[in-house]
Amino acid sequence: MRKFGLICVLALIISMFAGSAAVMASPDTYIVKSGDCLWSISNSTGVSINTIKQLNGLSSELLQIGQVLVLGSDAAPVVQAPAAYSSSQYVICLGDSLWSIAGKYGTTVDNLKALNGLTSDALFAGDTLIVSGTLPSTTVSRSGNSATGSRVIAKAAEYLGTPYRYGGSGPGGFDCSGFTSYIFSQFSISLNRTAAGQYGNGIAVSKDNLIPGDLVFFSCYSSSINHVGVYAGNGQFIHSSSPSGGGVIYSSLNSGYYANEYVGARRIIR
């Protein structure tokens, strides 16, 4: 009888520990970062988009940086982090267009462009697009005029395919520093004319902390800085490459030729 009682006590203790462990077990969660979208989160976690939406009560694919997503079916609800802005935002994914995003949120392309200060239809995966509400405060440049990285990149993208021209600094043709000088001049920001000179503009920023609109510099076939472009996000930069390279193009910052020739970066908009 005593042995039976001891077994019952042990069973009760094990049951209590099991229950306690179940309570303490932390649910599978994911904190939304810049550049995330439901497709990328689903791809990296193995949880389907529909399951993520159901678990988190999402009626659309709208995500906000800092938002906490539940990924496990038995997870308790979590308190969501506050939005970065007072307006609704959408993190751009590969394949998105202004037209498709406008359709998702019941707005117009013109309205999206007005909210985000866009002058073209160019979008970049990982950027955050305001889809409703009021604009966040703009970033102030050194010249005192309003400018943002997304606006600079959108303006630069308007000249994709423009031929390379040595000494060129106008829409008919650019060399590398002529291109960056021209783009920033559209926002009343004055840069030095040469790539080496522009390395003295702005403030230094590490490669790990690059944001769209930063200038990136290279030493191509030389020991000195002789090439410059504008970082566009997701490891890409836009620049006037060379006569044989196609003029104004996007290139990878983290692989191939330019990864080896990279020197540093400067932040102009702050």
Q: 86: domain range? A: 26-135
Q: How many angstroms separate the CA atoms of 126 and 107, rounded?
A: 21
* Cα→Cα distances 132→67, 101, 149, 194, Å: 18, 12, 20, 40
What does R_g of the chain's alpha carbons equal in angstroms?
25
Mean pLDDT of the chain: 75
Report the pLDDT value the prediction gives residue 213, as an integer from 0 to 100.
94
Question: What's the CATH number where 83 sits?
Answer: 3.10.350.10
Task: Give alpha helix (H) positions in 117-252.
Answer: 149-157, 176-185, 195-198
Q: Are residues 125 and 156 in the same domain?
A: no
Does position 46 have pLDDT exceeding 50, yes or no?
Answer: yes
Task: Give 97-135 pLDDT, tens digit per residue.
Answer: 888 888 887 788 777 776 655 666 777 766 666 776 543
Compute the Cα dihedral for 140, 149, 128, 75 and give only its sign.
negative
Does position 258 have pLDDT exceeding 80, yes or no?
Answer: yes
Q: How many angstroms separate the CA atoms of 267 and 93, rounded?
A: 25
Whether residue 59 lies inside any domain: the answer is: yes
The last residue of one of the domains, among 135, 159, 179, is 135
Q: For residue 158, which of 99, 217, 118, 208 has the smallest C-alpha distance?
A: 118
Q: Are residues 130 and 65 in the same domain?
A: yes
CB neighbours of residue 3 within 10 Å: 7
DSSP string computed for 234-254: TTEEEEE--TTTTSEEEEESS
Task: Give 3-34 pLDDT, tens digit per residue.
Answer: 545 455 455 454 554 444 333 333 477 877 76
* Residue 227 a catalytic site member: yes
Amino acid (1-letter code) at residue 239: H
Whether residue 21 lies inside any domain: the answer is: no
Q: Which residue in 37, 93, 220, 239 is the catalytic one?
A: 239
* Residue 93 a catalytic site member: no
Does position 138 have pLDDT exceeding 60, yes or no?
Answer: no
Q: How many angstroms separate the CA atoms of 244 and 238, rounded?
A: 16
Whether residue 32 lies inside any domain: the answer is: yes
Q: Are residues 32 and 130 in the same domain?
A: yes
Q: How many angstroms separate the CA atoms of 64 and 101, rounded?
A: 15
Q: Are residues 157 and 250 in the same domain?
A: yes
Does position 162 have pLDDT exceeding 80, yes or no?
Answer: yes
- Structure-model confidence comparison of residues 239 and 143, the more confident one: 239
Region at 4 (left for phi over 0; alpha for psi -120 to 50; beta for the rest): alpha
* Residue 239 a catalytic site member: yes
Report the pLDDT value the prediction gives residue 1, as an integer from 0 to 100.
52
Task: Give 55-87 pLDDT, tens digit per residue.
Answer: 877 766 667 666 778 777 544 443 333 333 334
Weakest-pLDDT range from 61-65, 150-154, 173-177, 241-245: 61-65
Question: What's the CATH number where 223 sits?
Answer: 3.90.1720.10
Calculate the CA 87 to chain-centre distance.
18
Task: Give 214-240 pLDDT, tens digit per residue.
Answer: 999 999 877 789 999 999 998 999 999
Whether residue 10 lies inside any domain: the answer is: no
Whether residue 195 lies inside any domain: the answer is: yes
- What pTM value is reported for the model? 0.49
The last residue of one of the domains, among 135, 168, 193, is 135
Q: Are residues 163 and 99 in the same domain?
A: no
Q: Which residue in 8, 37, 93, 176 is the catalytic one?
A: 176
Q: How far apart are the first and last CA of the chain?
A: 79
Let me know: does 121 contact 169? Beta carbons within 8 Å: no
Q: Are residues 167 and 262 in the same domain?
A: yes
Q: Are residues 115 and 48 in the same domain?
A: yes
Whether residue 11 lies inside any domain: the answer is: no
Whether residue 3 lies inside any domain: the answer is: no
